[in-house]
Amino acid sequence: MRRVSNILKRWSTDQLITGIEAQDWVKILAENNWRVDPTYAHRVAWVGGWSIPATLLGRLEDARYGRELAAMQIDPEPLFVLGHWRSGTTHLHNLLGRVPEHTYSTVYQVVFPTAFLMTDQIVPNLTARFMDDTRTYDNVKQGWHEAAEDEIALAKLTGLSPYISFMFPDQMAKYEKYVDFMECTSEEREKWKNAFSYFIKKIMLQTGGKRVVVKSCTHTARIRLLLEMFPNAKFVYIHRHPYEVFASTLHMRSHTDWENFFQVPEETWEQQREQQTLLLGQRIFDRYVEDRTLIPAENLIELKYEELCGNEMEVLESLWSQFELPNWAGAERVLSEYTAGLEGYKRNALKIKPKQKEAVAEYWKSAFEHGGYDTEYKI
């Protein structure tokens, strides 16, 4: 098969798998038949090099905190932010996670999920100056202690994540079942649940037992699994017009895919990426619409992206009231200051082709119907 000839971001060191432990990295490579293109050999060395201290420190951390973590209870249960990528989930995650009684998984925690308790005050201070101020695909602030998706940590802790397909595009279909775990074995489900509990407990241990606000877009399709673990958890589902979501997701992936490849994609990769985005979105939206009724009505809030932006304080005050969360006065002070600092934020200009609109309307039909969106919408 013919591969693309124009390699982008070849020397990027932003691989989401960096920080994985050595034995888990070897397992992922073996499961993909060691098929790494020589173009990306340096990425294997980079990830492998970091895996050695991650493994050693991880063992020390387990020895020091293992018993305490095993005895911990996750109380209060998490608050989940649900929604497809590029729907406003990061904005909502930042809002909900920075109030005094809440916390969230940080960039550093998801990069080194097995070793952050012992190193969180050392490595970030030494390396912060080497990080970009914003993410590569939008203008959202970036830093070691900014909010990050726990799915990045779970990919390293379990190997059971659709995110691995972004690194090994030749095997992308193999990882799709990990979006919702509906086709997985009981052993895989238990492995994932144990790893997720372990990670949440570590965050709570580090922050003195604060409620963890969890945001990974893949969780939108995992309501059944999450309710098995946390029957009293709170959920906020944010949605945006599907055309905007699709166009913005493709823009994001035009950066993040190239940053994570270990295999040079086929010449038709752009078309394959569109198809994969459509299929992943279809699975996420269909599963959410079907399973949302499993959540007790008082524990679920749905809102549109447009309703939140510019009206953050009103929306959040209503959320505090419905979920009966404590200390709105304290949260309001923090959030007022944070939202004031968002003035001047610029969104990416989005484009979508007529044929892409047709495909989105077909594959993401449930998102249009549930959100009340018009297929004639123009962006």
Spell out the domains of the chain, with CATH numbers in brackets: 22-371 (3.40.50.300)
pLDDT band at 130 (very low <50, low <70, confident <90, very high): low
- Give yes or no for residue 107 having a pLDDT over 70: yes
pTM: 0.93
pLDDT at 343: 72
Arithmetic mean of pLDDT over the chain: 93
- Give yes or no for residue 40 having a pLDDT over 80: yes
129: number of Cβ within 10 Å: 6
The mean per-residue pLDDT over the stretch 341-345 comes to: 71
pLDDT at 138: 54
- Give yes or no for residue 247 having a pLDDT over 60: yes
- Give yes or no for residue 345 having a pLDDT over 60: no
- Give yes or no for residue 198 having a pLDDT over 90: yes
pLDDT at 141: 62
